[in-house]
Amino acid sequence: MTVLPITPPSETEPRFQKDVRGFGTRAVQAGAPHDPVTGAVIEPISLSTTFAQTSLGRPIGEYEYTRSSNPNRNNFEHAVAALENAHYALAFSSGLAAMAITLQALASGSHVISIADLYGGTHRYFTKIAHTHGIRVSFTGLIEVDVRRLLEENPDTKLVWIETPSNPTLTLVDIQAVAEVAHEYGVYVVVDNTFLSPYVQNPLDHGADVVLHSVTKYINGHSDVLMGVTAFNSAEINERMSFLQNAIGAVPSPFDCWLAHRGLKTLHLRARAANESATAIAAALQASPNVQSVNYPGLSSHPQRKIAVKQHRKGMGGGMLSFRIKGGRHAAERFCQMTKIFTLAESLGGVESLCEVPAAMTHAGIPRESREATGIFDDLIRLSVGIEDTDDLVADIVQAVDAAIELSSDETSSGSSTPSDVVELVV
């Protein structure tokens, strides 16, 4: 099995031409042709699993079997490619399926360098599954500092894996700095862009070779679709990845593609609203005496604010943030029970606002020592800010923090405590 090269042949015709129009125009128009028969401005849902042929091996159109290709999936992939400034995009049945197939594109015996602070499901795959395919993974908390040394020590490295911002501590990575070093060694760089969406950040523009999303989150934006997608500019990466997409069959349904494409059309509006509210919430939390620290790259106090200014649209912080509440895990649980607008639930990027405690939920499968080494403590709360009114969201967060601290103090002074009802499950 060959390893994916970084640079595509210049003579290869790309699948999608890059679109130079504004983001909102691309979001609404890309991959959205009018129906040639009825003139419908919204594409129909093509549920057929197979397509007629006029003779042996001669389909009427470009489609033969829906696992291999489908009109709704093709149009959705076109739209994502347009938003990520890519020539190619491939949709998968989930974000983890997109990640797994990206890893399976590597030759057995390959080595991967990954950031240490990353989504619990990705960590689970890297530590418990990747080795069954002959893939070794090394983790680092300072990838810009360590990447050259790790490449020197591991000449079989084929991939560098980045989340920026990371989940859930919102740590940033300078994509260009890492990519320049990785490319010196013929290693390609994958960036999980789920936390920001294509509206806030386009990793390919900063040197990444592949950008990955859990479409379930911001791209779809309505908490009703499970899907993943990758985008890139290399024809040879596309050849290998599209082969695996079809051969493994981890593809989304036409209906899910249709829903996700519909959601994508308002991404720029939703992302702007979430960013505005998250910025206001982060400022309110930073001013609260009941909060230890706030992780949000939109704040001037964020230690990597310069990277956000460099990589994010207009220096936006995005719609995700996390903070450590005073009072420990008990206060964090209480906070999630006291919110009135924020719902205690996993996932992120939907129109509705969510809160969770990563150490007991999305990242519970990571050993405590490893979690805390990356800043994921029991008192860390992650917020996914939706598109409700900013003033209502800020007020809900402030009252929940104050109520959680007050209740925790009352129970501590009375000597009573409530057992944790949080289910420790990584999804």
pLDDT in tens, 150-169: 999 999 999 999 999 999 99
Residue 365, pLDDT score: 86
Q: Residue 401: which CATH number?
A: 3.90.1150.10
179 with 283, same domain? Answer: no
Same domain membership, residue 327 and residue 185: no
Range of lowest pLDDT (197-201, 203-207, 417-421): 417-421
Range of the domain at 210: 23-264
**Residue 407 pLDDT grade (very low, low, confident, very high; cuts 50, 70, 90):** confident
Confidence of residue 263 (pLDDT cuts 50, 70, 90): very high
* Together in a domain, 260 and 397: no
Of 264, 292, 318, the domain-final residue: 264
What pLDDT band is residue 414 in, cutting at 50, 70 and 90? low
- What CATH number is associated with residue 255? 3.40.640.10
pLDDT at 11 over 90: no
Say what the pLDDT of residue 122 is: 95
CA-wise closest residue to 179 among 193, 159, 197: 159
316 in the same domain as 208: no
Residue 303 falls inside a structural domain: yes
Q: Which of 243, 264, 285 is the last residue of a domain?
A: 264
pLDDT value of position 322: 98
State the pLDDT at residue 13. Answer: 85
Q: Average pLDDT of 95-108? A: 97
Q: Kindly state whether residues 279 and 158 are assigned to the same domain.
A: no
Q: Establish whether the linkage from the previous residue to 168 is cis, with ω within 30° of 0.
A: yes
Domain-located, residue 357: yes
Per the domain annotation, does 3 fall within a domain?
Answer: no
> What's the average model confidence in pLDDT over 261-271?
98
Last residue of one domain, picked from the residues 215, 241, 264 = 264
Residues 169 and 258 in one domain: yes
pLDDT average, residue stretch 395-402: 98
Do 280 and 246 share a structural domain? no
Note whether 239 and 291 are same-domain residues: no
- Lowest mean pLDDT, pick from 209-213, 394-398, 416-420: 416-420
5 domain-assigned: no
In a domain, 345, yes or no: yes
**Co-location of 247 and 372 in the same domain:** no
pLDDT of 90 reads 98
pLDDT of residue 8: 40
Task: Give per-residue pLDDT as tens, 273-328.
Answer: 999 999 999 999 999 999 999 999 999 999 999 999 999 999 999 999 999 999 99
pLDDT band at 409 (very low <50, low <70, confident <90, very high): low
Give the DSSP H/E element, type plus range, for residue 229.
strand 228-232
Same domain, 234 and 372: no
Asked whether the predicted pLDDT for residue 45 surpasses 70, the reply is: yes
Write out the two tokens for 136. Answer: 């070794």
Is residue 423, in this structure, part of any structural domain at all?
no
Provide the number of structural domains found in the chain: 2
Q: Does residue 262 have a pLDDT over 70?
A: yes
Tell me if 324 is assigned to some domain. Answer: yes
Based on the domain organization, do 71 and 218 belong to the same domain?
A: yes
Q: Is residue 224 part of a domain?
A: yes
The residue assigned the tokens 């031409």 is 17
Residue 408 has a pLDDT of 66
- In angstroms, the Cα distances linking 4 to 10, 173, 264 are 16, 23, 29
Please tell me whether residues 281 and 259 are part of one structural domain.
no
- Active-site positions read 67, 119, 192, 217
Alpha helices in 69-194 (DSSP H): 71-83, 95-104, 120-128, 143-153, 175-184
Q: pLDDT for 322-365, tens place per residue?
A: 999 999 999 999 999 999 999 999 999 999 999 999 999 989 88
The stretch 72-79 carries a mean pLDDT of 98
Angle at 217 between CA 336 and CA 98, to 5 degrees: 130
What are 146-150's contacts with CB under 8 Å, separation 24+?
A: 147/113, 147/178, 147/181, 147/182, 148/181, 150/113
